Amino acid sequence: MKEVCEAVHHAHELGVQHRDLKPSNIMLDAELRPKILDFGLSSNDPARGHFRGTPHYMAPEQLDASLPIDARTDVYALGAVLYELLTGVAPVDGASVDAIVANVRAGAIRLPVEIALRTPEPLQAIALKALETNAADRYPSAQDMALDLGRYLGGRPVSARPSRYATVLTTRIKPH
Protein backbone atom coordinates (compact mmCIF):
# COMPACT_ATOMS: atom_id res chain seq x y z
CA MET A 1 0.00 0.00 0.00
CA LYS A 2 2.91 2.32 0.74
CA GLU A 3 4.24 1.76 -2.79
CA VAL A 4 0.79 2.46 -4.24
CA CYS A 5 0.63 5.76 -2.33
CA GLU A 6 4.09 6.70 -3.60
CA ALA A 7 3.09 5.89 -7.19
CA VAL A 8 -0.07 7.99 -6.88
CA HIS A 9 1.98 10.85 -5.45
CA HIS A 10 4.35 10.58 -8.42
CA ALA A 11 1.37 10.86 -10.79
CA HIS A 12 0.19 13.92 -8.84
CA GLU A 13 3.64 15.51 -9.21
CA LEU A 14 3.24 15.04 -12.97
CA GLY A 15 -0.13 16.82 -12.82
CA VAL A 16 -2.30 13.69 -13.11
CA GLN A 17 -5.03 12.77 -10.67
CA HIS A 18 -6.39 9.26 -11.19
CA ARG A 19 -9.94 9.85 -9.86
CA ASP A 20 -10.98 6.18 -10.04
CA LEU A 21 -8.60 4.34 -7.73
CA LYS A 22 -10.02 1.03 -6.52
CA PRO A 23 -8.68 -2.47 -5.92
CA SER A 24 -9.38 -3.64 -9.48
CA ASN A 25 -7.23 -0.78 -10.80
CA ILE A 26 -4.21 -1.90 -8.78
CA MET A 27 -2.46 -5.02 -10.04
CA LEU A 28 0.76 -6.77 -9.08
CA ASP A 29 3.48 -7.61 -11.58
CA ALA A 30 5.56 -10.81 -11.57
CA GLU A 31 7.80 -9.37 -8.83
CA LEU A 32 4.70 -8.46 -6.75
CA ARG A 33 5.20 -4.73 -7.33
CA PRO A 34 1.94 -2.78 -7.57
CA LYS A 35 0.95 -1.19 -10.86
CA ILE A 36 -1.82 1.37 -11.18
CA LEU A 37 -4.12 0.83 -14.16
CA ASP A 38 -6.92 2.63 -15.99
CA PHE A 39 -6.23 6.35 -16.08
CA GLY A 40 -9.33 6.84 -18.24
CA LEU A 41 -10.94 9.33 -15.81
CA SER A 42 -7.71 11.10 -14.89
CA SER A 43 -7.43 14.87 -15.10
CA ASN A 44 -5.97 17.82 -13.26
CA ASP A 45 -8.94 20.14 -13.82
CA PRO A 46 -10.60 20.73 -10.42
CA ALA A 47 -13.95 21.41 -12.11
CA ARG A 48 -14.06 18.13 -14.11
CA GLY A 49 -14.77 14.56 -13.08
CA HIS A 50 -17.75 14.98 -10.79
CA PHE A 51 -20.17 12.02 -10.62
CA ARG A 52 -17.69 9.82 -12.51
CA GLY A 53 -16.00 6.81 -10.97
CA THR A 54 -16.91 3.90 -8.74
CA PRO A 55 -19.30 5.02 -5.98
CA HIS A 56 -17.76 2.83 -3.23
CA TYR A 57 -14.42 4.64 -3.69
CA MET A 58 -15.57 8.15 -4.63
CA ALA A 59 -14.73 11.03 -2.32
CA PRO A 60 -17.59 13.29 -1.18
CA GLU A 61 -16.30 16.16 -3.33
CA GLN A 62 -16.71 13.99 -6.44
CA LEU A 63 -20.42 13.95 -5.62
CA ASP A 64 -20.78 17.73 -5.32
CA ALA A 65 -20.07 19.79 -8.44
CA SER A 66 -19.63 22.93 -6.31
CA LEU A 67 -16.50 21.45 -4.70
CA PRO A 68 -13.12 21.19 -6.45
CA ILE A 69 -11.46 17.86 -7.11
CA ASP A 70 -7.76 17.65 -6.30
CA ALA A 71 -5.09 15.19 -5.14
CA ARG A 72 -6.93 14.67 -1.83
CA THR A 73 -9.69 12.98 -3.84
CA ASP A 74 -7.21 10.22 -4.70
CA VAL A 75 -6.10 10.15 -1.04
CA TYR A 76 -9.71 9.33 -0.10
CA ALA A 77 -9.72 6.44 -2.59
CA LEU A 78 -6.37 5.21 -1.22
CA GLY A 79 -7.97 5.19 2.23
CA ALA A 80 -10.89 3.18 0.84
CA VAL A 81 -8.50 0.63 -0.67
CA LEU A 82 -6.57 0.35 2.62
CA TYR A 83 -9.85 -0.01 4.52
CA GLU A 84 -10.88 -2.85 2.23
CA LEU A 85 -7.50 -4.53 2.66
CA LEU A 86 -7.99 -4.38 6.44
CA THR A 87 -11.63 -5.49 6.57
CA GLY A 88 -12.46 -7.32 3.36
CA VAL A 89 -15.29 -4.87 2.58
CA ALA A 90 -15.53 -1.40 1.04
CA PRO A 91 -15.83 1.39 3.62
CA VAL A 92 -19.19 2.58 2.28
CA ASP A 93 -22.03 0.38 1.14
CA GLY A 94 -25.72 0.55 0.37
CA ALA A 95 -28.56 -1.33 -1.26
CA SER A 96 -28.47 0.96 -4.32
CA VAL A 97 -26.17 3.48 -5.96
CA ASP A 98 -28.27 6.27 -4.40
CA ALA A 99 -27.81 4.72 -0.96
CA ILE A 100 -24.05 4.40 -1.47
CA VAL A 101 -23.84 8.04 -2.59
CA ALA A 102 -25.86 9.15 0.46
CA ASN A 103 -23.58 7.16 2.75
CA VAL A 104 -20.44 8.63 1.16
CA ARG A 105 -21.81 12.15 1.63
CA ALA A 106 -22.73 11.36 5.26
CA GLY A 107 -19.37 9.77 6.01
CA ALA A 108 -21.17 6.60 7.17
CA ILE A 109 -18.06 4.50 7.76
CA ARG A 110 -17.70 1.94 10.53
CA LEU A 111 -14.43 1.55 12.40
CA PRO A 112 -12.42 -1.22 10.73
CA VAL A 113 -11.93 -2.92 14.12
CA GLU A 114 -15.71 -3.36 14.34
CA ILE A 115 -15.53 -5.52 11.21
CA ALA A 116 -12.11 -7.16 11.58
CA LEU A 117 -11.23 -7.41 15.27
CA ARG A 118 -7.50 -7.84 14.69
CA THR A 119 -7.10 -4.63 12.72
CA PRO A 120 -3.97 -2.83 13.98
CA GLU A 121 -5.04 0.53 15.41
CA PRO A 122 -2.35 2.52 13.57
CA LEU A 123 -3.51 1.14 10.20
CA GLN A 124 -7.11 1.86 11.15
CA ALA A 125 -6.12 5.45 11.98
CA ILE A 126 -4.32 5.84 8.64
CA ALA A 127 -7.32 4.53 6.69
CA LEU A 128 -9.79 6.73 8.58
CA LYS A 129 -7.58 9.82 8.22
CA ALA A 130 -7.52 9.29 4.45
CA LEU A 131 -11.31 8.74 4.46
CA GLU A 132 -12.20 12.01 6.19
CA THR A 133 -15.40 13.47 4.72
CA ASN A 134 -13.91 16.96 4.57
CA ALA A 135 -10.96 17.00 2.15
CA ALA A 136 -9.10 19.53 4.35
CA ASP A 137 -9.03 16.95 7.18
CA ARG A 138 -7.37 14.24 5.05
CA TYR A 139 -3.70 13.73 4.42
CA PRO A 140 -2.67 16.67 2.23
CA SER A 141 -0.96 14.29 -0.20
CA ALA A 142 -0.54 10.63 -1.04
CA GLN A 143 3.11 11.07 0.00
CA ASP A 144 2.00 12.05 3.52
CA MET A 145 -0.08 8.88 3.69
CA ALA A 146 2.92 6.85 2.44
CA LEU A 147 5.08 8.42 5.15
CA ASP A 148 2.61 7.35 7.84
CA LEU A 149 2.52 3.82 6.41
CA GLY A 150 6.33 3.87 6.52
CA ARG A 151 6.24 4.90 10.16
CA TYR A 152 3.91 1.99 10.90
CA LEU A 153 6.13 -0.46 9.00
CA GLY A 154 9.15 0.86 10.90
CA GLY A 155 7.47 0.35 14.27
CA ARG A 156 7.15 4.09 14.93
CA PRO A 157 4.00 5.99 15.93
CA VAL A 158 1.84 7.26 13.08
CA SER A 159 0.70 10.88 12.85
CA ALA A 160 -2.92 10.09 11.87
CA ARG A 161 -5.58 11.39 14.27
CA PRO A 162 -8.91 10.85 12.50
CA SER A 163 -11.84 13.01 13.55
CA ARG A 164 -14.01 9.87 13.54
CA TYR A 165 -12.42 8.84 16.86
CA ALA A 166 -13.88 11.90 18.58
CA THR A 167 -17.27 11.31 16.93
CA VAL A 168 -17.39 7.66 18.01
CA LEU A 169 -16.30 8.54 21.54
CA THR A 170 -18.97 11.25 21.81
CA THR A 171 -21.65 8.84 20.53
CA ARG A 172 -20.69 6.19 23.05
CA ILE A 173 -20.42 8.56 26.02
CA LYS A 174 -23.59 10.58 25.30
CA PRO A 175 -26.06 8.02 26.79
CA HIS A 176 -24.12 8.02 30.05
- Give the span between the Cα atoms of 20 and 38, in whole angstroms: 8
Q: Is 20 part of the annotated catalytic residue set?
A: yes
Beta-carbon neighbour count of residue 67 at 10 Å?
Answer: 16
Determine whether 14 is exposed, middle or buried from the number of CB atoms within 10 Å of its CB (0-12, 13-18, 19+): exposed
What gap in Å lies between CA 34 and CA 132, rounded to an integer?
25
CA separation for the pair 175, 126 (Å, rounded): 28
Which one of 20, 74, 144, 148 is the catalytic residue? 20
Residues belonging to the active site: 20
